[in-house]
Amino acid sequence: MTENFKASNRRAVLDFIRTRYPISRSQLSRISGLNKATVSGFVTDFLRQGVVAETGSGVAAAGRKPVLLSFVADSAYVIGLLLNVRSVRMVITDLEGTIVWQTREPLGDEGASSTLDRIAIIIEDGVRRVGIPFSSIVALGIGVPGLVDFQAGVIVQTPNMGLSSVSLKQWLEMRFHIPVFVDNAANVSAVGEKLFGAGRHYEHFVYVSVSTGIGGGVVMNGQLQRGAFGFAGEFGHMVVEPHGLSCRCGGQGCWEMYGSLKALYRQTARHIGEDPAAYRPDILVTVVDAAARGETWAIEGLNYIGFYLGVGVASIVSAFNPHAVLIGNEIAIGAKWIMPIIETVVQTHCSLPIIKDLTLLMLEYDDNKAVVGAAGMGIDGFLDQLTHRKIRRWC
């Protein structure tokens, strides 16, 4: 048995304990298909590492009662971070993703160096406030709005933030000496939905994040898909108008120039007297409030981005044939006006067999799932390293 194969089996057994405890060794052997000696060897490792504990006895028809095993969720903790243009969202969770502490802190446009220092201070302050030793923190997951090289942990491009070309993984690992996992914000949101939200009900879904930009996370067969080079889901820069507006990515006619809050602000700026480049969240609230009062300019602005969101979603549906497309982030407060347009455009642009059983949902805005998704990415990375024996003990 190769070491990678052993590690894969070891991780499978740990996941069975984590998701089905209390459970006995014989039950683990039965559901995993591994022999009892192999399972017992893995369990001995987990007991030594502290992530599993023996917690009483089960019921037996005859003979000795089986010893039950439980996952020790509070044996270690993980930090989840979600960056956006204006703030940092931070949680500390146990190994089951239960939040034990959380905060939201402002983030200014102060340049890469100052932003990194600010993030480090927020992390240090959070761990100090929750009152656990830093040695109990075993991983950090972070979501960033932009193009991210997941393997290297490098922010390749952040059109709306000043962190392009920053080696965030390396910087944070050197600062805190724990494994760091960096991904784009849409991917961690998709992970959060799969673990804790609407995505739990679907094996194949696409999450579309709509804010000042557009991003996406693709989940197929229950797993996040990254593509050959790690950049799958960059839907915001697929072209919906070939000779359209110039985008900060260097292209023309990108989806986010027509279906994001950028487009809404551009369409409504003359009515609200604001600079459309400001991208302030209260402008969205102003537009939605005006639409609720029946003001035509606001309804037309929301319908405009609804149409282009529908065009993009139709392409995603045709390309991936998912069970569901989940649309989320700040745009959610405009669902009343936007979703009917999206649904109509998708029905018009997609063939009936593809959409017959399709679910389109606009999710209530809740960045808890996204930031816990970032923590979940850290949990997954930590458990993967643990079962590959790259970590023996951490405290």
pLDDT tens figures, 70-93: 999 999 999 999 998 788 999 999
Checking 350-353 for CB contacts under 8 A at 24+ apart, the result is 350/314, 350/317, 350/318, 351/318
* 21: CATH: 1.10.10.10
Same domain, 159 and 216: no
Instruction: Name the strand (E) or helix (H) holding 140.
Output: strand 137-144
Q: How many domains does the chain have?
A: 3
The sign of the dihedral angle between the CA atoms of 128, 129, 133, 136 is negative
Average pLDDT over residues 318-344: 96
Residues 20 and 84 in one domain: no
Write down the pLDDT at residue 183.
Answer: 94
Per-residue pLDDT, 61: 56
Examine the pLDDT at 256 and tell me if it is beyond 80. yes
Where helices occur in the chain by DSSP H, the ranges are 3-20, 25-32, 36-49, 112-130, 168-176, 185-196, 256-259, 261-272, 281-292, 296-320, 335-349, 352-355, 367-387
Domain check: are 344 and 379 in the same one? Answer: no
CATH number at residue 272: 3.30.420.40
- Judge whether 269 lies within some domain: yes
CB 82 within 8 A of CB 371: yes
Give the pLDDT confidence score for residue 163 in this predicted structure: 84
Q: How far apart are CA 393 and CA 135, in angstroms?
A: 10
Residue-wise pLDDT tens digits, 285-309: 999 999 999 999 999 999 999 999 9
pLDDT of residue 324: 97
Domain boundary among 71, 91, 115: 71
Q: Give the Cβ contact number of residue 248 at 10 Å.
A: 14
How far, in Å, are 300, 357, 362 from residue 346 at the CA level?
19, 13, 14
Within this chain, do residues 42 and 108 fall inside the same structural domain, yes or no? no
Q: Is residue 121 in a domain? A: yes
pLDDT, position 62:
56
From the DSSP assignment, how many helices (H) and strands (E) are in the chain?
Answer: 13, 15
Q: Are residues 61 and 14 in the same domain?
A: yes
Residue 395, pLDDT score: 46
pLDDT at 114 over 80: yes
Examine the domain organization and report whether 361 and 383 are in the same domain.
Answer: no
Q: What is the pLDDT of residue 112?
A: 84
Average pLDDT over residues 250-275: 89
- 97 and 59 part of one domain: no
Angle CA(117)–CA(96)–CA(41) in degrees, nearest 5? 115
pLDDT value of residue 282: 73
* Same domain, yes or no: 333 and 203: yes
Contact yes or no for 143/119 (Cβ under 8 A): no
| Residues 301/337, Cβ–Cβ less than 8 Å | no
pLDDT above 70 covers a percentage of the chain that reads 94
Dist CA 194 CA 254 (whole Å): 27
* pLDDT tens profile 22-58: 999 999 999 999 999 999 999 999 999 999 999 877 6
pLDDT of residue 276: 55
Beta bridge partners of 139: 78
Write down the pLDDT at residue 59: 63
Output the pLDDT for position 110.
Answer: 74
Higher pLDDT, 270 or 138: 138
Judgement on whether residues 319 and 221 belong to the same structural domain of the protein: yes
Place of tokens 């939200």: 197
Cα atoms found within 13 Å of the Cα of residue 84, Cβ hemisphere only: 26
Amino acid at 30: R
Mean pLDDT value of segment 91-111: 90
Answer yes or no: is 360 within a domain.
yes
Which has the closest alpha carbon to 7: 384, 282, 297, 314?
384
pLDDT digits (tens, 9 = 90+) for 142-154: 999 888 999 999 9
Decide if pLDDT at 394 tops 60: no
Residue 343, pLDDT above cutoff 90: yes
Strand partners, 217: 207
Residue 15 contacts residue 59 (beta carbons within 8 Å):
no
CA distance 330 to 332: 5
Give the strand pairing for 324-328 and 205-210. parallel
pLDDT > 80? residue 136 = yes
Identify the pLDDT of residue 85. 78
**Distance (Å, whole) CA 57 – CA 28:** 15
Full strand arrangement of the beta sheet holding 67-71: 23-24, 67-71, 52-57
pLDDT for 86? 80
Is residue 392 a part of any domain in this protein? no
* Domain identity same for 350 and 222: yes
The Cα–Cα gap between 220 and 308 comes to 25
Mean pLDDT of 278-289: 79
Sign of CA dihedral 283, 285, 288, 292: negative
Give residue for tokens 């970590």.
391
- Say yes or no: 159 and 275 in one domain: no
pLDDT at 389 over 60: yes
pLDDT greater than 70 at residue 278: no
Flag whether pLDDT at 135 surpasses 70.
Answer: yes
Query: Dihedral, CA atoms, 201, 205, 209, 215, nearest 10 degrees?
Result: 150
Is residue 121 within 8 Å of residue 361, measured between CB atoms? no
Q: Report whether pLDDT(391) > 80.
A: no
> Whole domain around residue 111: which residue ranges?
75-189+369-387
Helix (H, G, I), strand (E, B) or coil at 62: coil
pLDDT of residue 379: 94
- Name the phi and psi angles at 245, rounded to 5: -65, 150
The maximal CA–CA distance of the chain, rounded, in angstroms, is 80
Contacts (Cβ under 8 Å, ≥6 apart) of 377: 80, 141, 181, 183, 188, 191
pLDDT in the model for residue 13: 94
Query: How far, in Å, CA of 96 to CA of 73, rounded?
Result: 6
Prediction pTM value: 0.86
On average, the pLDDT of the chain sits at: 90
